[in-house]
Amino acid sequence: MAVRDSRISGFFRLTPVERLRKVAELVGLTEQEVATLQMTGSMGIDVADKLVENVISTLEMPLSVAPNFRVNGKDYLVPMAIEEPSVVAACSNAARIAREGGGFRAYATEPLMYGQVQVIGVPDPNVARVEILSRKSEILELANTASQTLKSRGAGARDLQVREVPGLEGQVVVHLVVDVMDAMGANVINTMCERVAPLIEEVTGGRVNLRILSNLTPLRTAYAWARFRKELIGGEEVVNGVVEAWRFAQMDIFRAATHNKGIMNGIDAVLVATLNDWRAAEANAHAYAAIGGYRSLTRYSVDSNGNLIGSIEVPLAVGVVGGTTGAVEKARIARKILGASDARELACILASVGLAQNFAALRALADEGIQRGHMSLHARNVAVTAGASPPEVDAVAKRLVEEGRISVSRAREILQEMRGGGSGNNK
């Protein structure tokens, strides 16, 4: 049933229960559907209602743990929240193989991010640049009044840059370079940009328009590498196949988009589990990959013994404090399971997870094809969608895979046969 009119006066003023009832009335939800939406799990509806607007329910997602990770000599259990089949299994297996080669070695730079102040209507951008830079200390000092916590710990606004953007006449962009320590940093950077805007207008004679952080963080980057021993991944042919698959991604934007999406499959799952901003991470990674022409975020080579060496370079603006990271109890527990003590350690783990996920995907493509690995897990999802009960799922999935017909309609036919109501005709 399509809603005829989506205008609801005062919708935001209603309680979550009242909103749900209103939506049910407008779109024709059944009482069973309403009851399902009223089951909110561990995140109470009151908590959800405080996090975002117009809440009617919550949506659960599988929360898994990927074992086997060793990063910089330390072991981790990695929580991953994701609905896509095979990601967790592939990541765990890749970490096990990397472990045999010494595990992942990783490094994350200082948590430096850009805040942008756009100034328009500048009489002379060259003069404005000099005048802004001559007041640099004053501007930074003013910015740091936005966070006494950062300032007291030797962090906060550290530097200032002035740019002209080609094609934007009469404009300059002021970049505040901010050390945000263990936070993602958006709120404090936005506040700093607001704080310095009047002074920048005074100095330049222009008018400040935008005052906001940039989600591209080339100064806040994580690196990781690992050795995958050739005898554990299928020998020389597979090693060479992975390298050639990576070369393809380096040279072809269509392949690179899918290649980098696979990297973010792993990284995003950890970010969702810990309630970090995965949307900012996606924008950051893909923008970074596009600098100089869209390319792979990973690299692969072969060492003198024929083993595969994989590495990754990925910008990561993540936090272990602030935002919603402490607002939801399951996310807090997920962070406890992970055991990252600060944002740089978290970035090292995330880079390692991204590399593991990418290696697993390329190995599957180079060895047996990605679909075979997906098939059994996808079949289980199809069985659930078709209405299989937990005891029936594996049996239905097994039949689907054996027949090579993984569809909801076929799963329903198999269920009917199993329950004694079918003819046994596979059609």
> Of 151, 175, 330, 374, which residue is the catalytic one?
374
Q: pLDDT for 180-227, tens place per residue?
A: 999 999 999 999 999 999 999 999 999 999 999 999 999 999 999 999
Across 78-86, average pLDDT: 93
Whether 2 has a pLDDT exceeding 70, the answer reads no
What's the confidence (pLDDT) of residue 337? 97
Range name among 199-213, 312-326, 358-372 with the lowest pLDDT average: 358-372
Residue 128 has pLDDT above 50, yes or no: yes
Residues 248-260: tens digit of each pLDDT = 999 999 999 999 9
Q: With contact defined as beta carbons under 8 Å apart, do 161 and 139 qualify?
A: no
Domains 63-109+220-368 and 112-213 share a fold: no
- Average pLDDT on 5-22 reads 94
Question: Does residue 325 register a pLDDT over 70?
Answer: no
Specify whether 46 is catalytic: no
How much of the chain exceeds pLDDT 90, in percent?
80
Q: Span 134-154, mean pLDDT? A: 94
Q: What is the pLDDT of residue 1?
A: 57
Pick 245 or 421 by higher pLDDT: 245
Residue extents of the structural domains in the chain? 1-60, 63-109+220-368, 112-213, 373-418
Is 378 one of the catalytic residues? no
Q: What is the pLDDT of residues 158-173, one digit of tens each?
A: 999 999 999 999 999 9
| Residue 237 appears among annotated catalytic residues | no
Instruction: Say which of 22, 175, 261, 398 is annotated catalytic.
Output: 261
Task: Sort 7 into a burial class: Cβ within 10 Å, 0-12 / 13-18 / 19+.
Answer: exposed
Say whether 164 is catalytic.
Answer: no
Query: Residue 323 pLDDT > 80, yes or no?
Result: no
How much is the pLDDT for 423? Answer: 47
pTM of the shown model:
0.88
Is pLDDT above 80 for 314? yes
The CATH topology of domain 373-418 is Helicase, Ruva Protein; domain 3 (1.10.8)
Question: What is residue 230's predicted lDDT score, i.e. its pLDDT?
Answer: 96
pLDDT at residue number 90:
94
Q: Is the pLDDT of residue 141 over 70?
A: yes
Q: What is the CATH code for 112-213? A: 3.30.70.420
Domain 63-109+220-368 has CATH 3.90.770.10: yes
Per residue in 15-72, pLDDT (tens digit) is 999 999 999 999 999 999 999 999 988 888 998 999 999 999 999 999 999 999 999 9
Out of 179, 182, 268, 277, pick the active-site residue. Answer: 277
Per the model's pLDDT, the better-predicted residue between 414 and 384 turns out to be 414
Give the strands of the sheet with 308-315, arranged side by side: 105-108, 221-228, 308-315, 298-302
Whether pLDDT at 102 is above 90: yes
pLDDT higher than threshold 80 for residue 376 = no
Q: What average pLDDT does the segment 116-139 reach?
A: 97
